Structure 1
Amino acid sequence: MAFSKIIECVPNFSEGRNINVIEKIVENFRAKDGVKLLDYSWDEDHNRCVVTVVGEPTPLKDAVVAAIGTAIKEINMNEHKGQHPRMGAVDVVPFIPIKNSTVEECVSLSKDVAKEIWEKYEMPSFLYENSASSSKRKNLAKIRKGEYEGMFEKMQEEDWHPDFGNNAPHPTAGVCAIGARAPLVAYNINLDTSNVDIANKIAKNIRHLSGGYRFVKAMGVELKDRNISQVSINMTDYTKTSLYRVFETVKFEAKRWGVNVIGSEIVGLVPMMALIESAEYYLGLEEFKPEQILETRIME
């Protein structure tokens, strides 16, 4: 992957059940010069697909805009149901600087995409995180509050006019959040109970907005096909709040309700150092260095 400049994008699409639609969306990232598809995964309970793609700014922008166009055409939010909060066919589009790129470039790219999807598809959008036009729009959860069903009324309020587009969501595709941010780890922890209220109580205790860890967003989710519940987590800065710390806290809190943690999962890709830090903790490694990893040395 000989790109001189690399930006990552992790668009989230509101489709996790129809594989044909998912493939149509993902096809926009395949065999494109200047773009490399790294990963995509979907979940039926969340009814959501997460794509991880990297590339140089202009070809990446073109591929993302094309994928959004496909999602708008194929996904009808009036029929969409799922465990994960959402407000549009493409719910959120973050850009992350990786190599020879800056946050400022990602902010500019996010604005270009927001402008283009309005001009091409008449889909309005909010800018969030580093791209936010005001402090109240930095947090995605605040923008998304009310979800798709509540956006028609919310966007009429002066404080919630979109950054691009008219003051109403697209009639079938809703509205999108687009922005620049630091690398995020999507991390879910599963509990041996179908009682989602317990998962929600644990999520409340660990998320920052409720007095928990500074760089943690969390909510409870019911996984009906497995008859369990899940604490669904976004780690917004794993260098300041570690995965192992959150995992141990969830185990501790679960005991209060007489339930156990039965596993966890990473959604999409994860920075290697996020896992190394947890390995150091659980194995009690002393003075371990990333250079000791065989694959790291081979790739040098």
Structure 2
Amino acid sequence: MASALGRRLVACLLNISEARQRGLVEKVAQAAITDDHGIRRKGTTVLNIFSDYDYNRSVITIVASIELIKEAVLSACEQACSLIDMNEHEGIHPCLGAVDLIPLYPLGEEVDLKDCGREAQALAAALIERVLGTSAFFFGWADVPIRRGLAQRRKEIGWSRKVLNIAAIQPDIGPQPTRQYGLTGVGASPYVMNCNVTIDTQDLVLGRGVAAAIRESSPGGIQGVQVMALPHEGAIEIACNVESVLEGPPSDLAADMEPWPAFNIGGQNFYHAPASLITARVTELAGRHGVATKGTALVGFTPLECKGLAEMALSQDIGEFWKMLHSVRM
């Protein structure tokens, strides 16, 4: 039963701009697994909730079949927009919207990136109809026909700027963005993990140097890694988005390094850099300046973990799977 369930699965790692009110975040998660009448939405599960106080940002991992994912995510987005006002938001992490990011990732063998791209476009269209005043930009397979990646779209918009005139941004769909809701990124791509390595310093310039050295676009950078350095709990966090890539790992990896995990989408193998490699590179680079690492946090799951846990949760009809983890999964 679990295997059949897994063939049509899609994950959404919903990013919302709130982490300091736990009850609010859980209301958003609950909305994904209950309908308008408060009845349990079958075939949908919330695997994890990761909230960061300093960033004031939460990532909610919602998984359902391609046929059910849109309504589940839309309900969560409607709830988030009703509870979060960007006029009152404070946090270190860059953000544009109350619902900041809606990425769809194919998990099952019978779902491909084009399917998720179409579903992401439909989701954005439904959101601006249901929550008047919301607007969105597209990335990845939802950004037809260019397929610009999330990092490129954010750079074009000016996502990381400290001062950004949200009302001057031209959305891809919806009205001119308002300060209340901001702007939402909606897209589809191969699975993206979040791997954050903390270094024991408050020197942001040093942290940015480390981040730049491991960024994919830099000479010698790690394939698929997009990264920022941010102040976090009295230290500096090297916050990495680890994108899954078609090409295999570099052939010059040291023999003792962990192999790059692989998973299949539409008959093609995708790979992602392991957390151990990112940690080792950050440790090496920071160590050149006499700075040690304090630890590594994997936010949520690897693609294979996500699929396996979703199959288990759905086969047992567990919607609130995050409560079974007993604590935030790192």
| Structure-1-length-normalised TM-score | 0.82
Pairwise CA RMSD: 2.2
Which residue type is aligned with residue 14 of structure 2? P
- What whole-Å deviation, never above 9, does each CA across 1:174-217 have from its counterpart, x for those lacking one? 01011111111100001111223322221111112344223111
1:29 paired to 2:40: no
Distance 2:305 2:59 in 1: 21
1:23 shift after superposition:
1.3
Q: Is 1:150 the counterpart of 2:164 in the alignment? A: yes
Moved more, 7-16 or 232-241: 232-241
CA deviations over 1:239-276 (Å, ceiling 9, x no partner): 253433222111111012210012101001223589xx
**Which residue does the alignment assign to 1:158?**
none
CA distance in 2, matches of 1:77, 1:273: 33
Q: Is the partner of 2:78 in helix, strand or coil?
A: helix
In structure 2, distance between residues paired with 1:207 and 1:118: 34
1:7 is the counterpart of 2:16: no
Q: What do the CA deviations read for 1:33-88 (whole angstroms, capped 9, x no partner)?
A: 12111111101011111011111223221111111111111111122121211100
Determine whether 1:170 maps to 2:178: yes
Higher helix share: 1
Q: Share of identical aligned residues, percent?
A: 26
Match in the other structure for 1:89: 98
Task: Identify which of 62, 66, 69 aligns with 2:75.
Answer: 66
Deviation for aligned residue 1:171: 3.2
Contact kept, 8 Å, 2:141 with 2:147, in 1: the verdict is: no
State the distance in 2 between where 1:176 and 1:143 align.
14
Runs of 4+ in structure 1 over 6 Å off: none
**Residue matched to 2:123:** 113
- One-letter amino acid of the counterpart of residue 196, structure 1: L
Q: Deviation at 1:154? A: 4.1
| Per-residue deviation, residues 123-144 of structure 1 (Å, max 9, x unmatched) | 1111101211364842343255
Cα distance, 1:118 vs structure 2: 0.8
Could you say which residue in structure 2 is the equivalent of 1:193? Answer: 201
| Higher RCO (CA 8 Å, separation ≥ 6 residues) | 2
Write the distance in 2 (CA, Å) between the matches of 1:47 and 1:173: 16
Give distance in 1, aligned partners of 2:12 and 2:80. Answer: 16
User: What number of residue pairs does the alignment pair up?
Assistant: 266
Residues 200 and 220 in structure 1, CA contact (< 8 A), matched pair in contact too: yes
- Amino acid of the structure 2 residue aligned with 1:106: C
| 2:104 and 2:187 in contact (8 A); partners too | yes
Q: Deviations over 1:68-118 (max 9, x none)?
A: 111111111122121211100111111111112111110111011000011
Indicate conservation of the 8 Å contact 1:95/1:110, yes or no. yes
Helix, strand or coil: the match of 2:124?
A: helix
Structure 1: which 5+ residue stretches go unaligned?
156-160, 275-300
Amino acid at match of 1:9: C
Relative to the length of structure 2, the TM-score reads: 0.75
Corresponding residue number in structure 2 for 1:245:
277
Q: Quick check: 2:166–2:178 contact (8 Å CA) kept in 1? A: no
Name the residue aligned to 1:139.
Answer: 150
Distance 2:285 2:148 in 1: 31
Distance in 1 of aligned mates of 2:195 and 2:83: 28
Match of 1:228 in 2: 235
Query: 1:255 pairs with 287, 303, 318, which one?
Result: 287
| Unpaired segments ≥5 residues, structure 2 | 34-39, 245-259, 261-270, 307-330
Cα gap change, 1:147 to 1:176, in 2 (>3 Å): farther
Asked if residue 267 in structure 1 is aligned to residue 299 in structure 2, the reply is yes
Q: Distance in 2 between matches of 1:232 and 1:223?
A: 10
